[in-house]
């Protein structure tokens, strides 16, 4: 069964460093999303991506964040200068023609 | 703005019994989708079940069913014949574009 994959599974970084989180969505899906979940809290929407551009973003998704689909398969989230409060689980999700969004296993980011 | 409410931070159920996890929502959009996801301790988000706002029948997927009461704006998840592996966080979500999640309910199945 096709699934969304994410790498790395865990990342530890120093405050101020750039990180790139990678996702490979399900191959025939058209809509892509990033969410985050701070430990013990609810899952929060960051950004949605369709037709090679951002379709919607939340107030969390400020200028420090960017997304890209560089090669037609990978979907990346870049955080330019990480802050302590960026520590969270980051989920990529993809959606095809039907309503359901399928989530990847997540990347656990720890900013020290 | 839409809002999802899960009023049960934690629930316990005896193995093999049924349990209902509550979810209410608020939206002014006539077209929306309601979802339940399971998050075990390993952290991944597993899709369980979907209900469209125009669906006439309650959704079912194996041991999961969704008790959809549109007038009351509720979309409760019913898990029948609970198993130890059902112990996890359960999130209700609504989609109007992106997913908006509730705070979750931690379900513990007791042997």
Q: For residue A101, which residues of chain B lie inside 8 Å, CB to CB?
A: 35, 47, 95, 99
pLDDT digits (tens, 9 = 90+) for B27-71: 988 889 999 999 999 999 999 999 999 998 999 999 999 999 999
Go through B17-52 and write b for each residue having 16 or more CB atoms within 10 A of its CB, e for each that does not.
eebebbbbbebeeeebbbbbbbbeeeebbebbbbbe
Q: What percent of chain A has pLDDT over 70?
A: 100
Q: Give the sign of the dihedral formed by CA A82, CA B104, CA A56, CA A3.
A: positive
Nearest-CA distance from A35 to chain B in Å? 9
Average pLDDT, chain B: 94
In B, minimum Cα distance to A6 occurs at B44
Confidence of residue B2 (pLDDT cuts 50, 70, 90): low
Q: Are the C-beta atoms of B64 and B73 separated by less than 8 Å?
A: no
Write down the pLDDT at residue A112: 97
- Express each pLDDT in A49-102 by its tens digit: 998 899 999 999 999 999 999 887 899 999 999 999 999 999 999 998 888 999
pLDDT of residue A73: 85
CA–CA min distance A32, chain B (Å): 10
Task: Name the residue facing A42 among B44, B97, B101 (closest C-beta).
Answer: B101
Asked whether the predicted pLDDT for residue A107 surpasses 90, the reply is: yes
Helix and strand numbers (H, E) in chain A are: 0, 11
The confidence score (pLDDT) of residue B65 equals 97
Beta strand A10-13 with A107-111 is: parallel
Identify the pLDDT of residue B1. 58
The reply to whether residue A100 touches residue B35, judged by beta carbons under 8 angstroms, is: yes
């Amino acid at each position: 069964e096709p699934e969304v994959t994410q790498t790395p599974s865990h990342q530890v970084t120093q405050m101020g460093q750039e990180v790139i989180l990678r996702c490979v969505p399900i191959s025939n899906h058209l809509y892509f999303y990033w969410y985050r979940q701070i430990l013990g809290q609810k899952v929060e929407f960051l950004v949605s991506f369709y037709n090679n551009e951002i379709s919607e973003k939340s107030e969390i998704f400020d200028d420090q964040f960017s997304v890209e689909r560089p090669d037609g398969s990978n979907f990346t989230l870049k955080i330019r200068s990480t802050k302590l409060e960026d520590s969270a689980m980051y989920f990529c999700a993809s959606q095809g023609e039907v309503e359901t969004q399928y989530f990847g296993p997540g990347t656990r980011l720890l900013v020290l | 703005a839409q809002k999802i409410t899960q009023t049960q931070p934690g629930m316990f159920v005896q193995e093999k019994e049924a349990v209902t996890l509550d979810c209410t929502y608020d939206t002014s959009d006539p077209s929306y989708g309601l979802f339940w996801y399971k998050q075990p301790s390993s952290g991944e988000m597993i899709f369980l079940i979907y209900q469209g706002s125009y669906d006439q029948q309650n959704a079912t997927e194996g041991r999961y069913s969704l008790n959809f009461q549109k007038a009351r704006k509720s979309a409760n998840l019913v898990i029948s014949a609970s198993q130890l592996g059902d112990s996890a966080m359960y999130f209700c979500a609504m989609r109007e574009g992106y997913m908006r999640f509730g705070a979750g309910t931690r379900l513990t199945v007791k042997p």
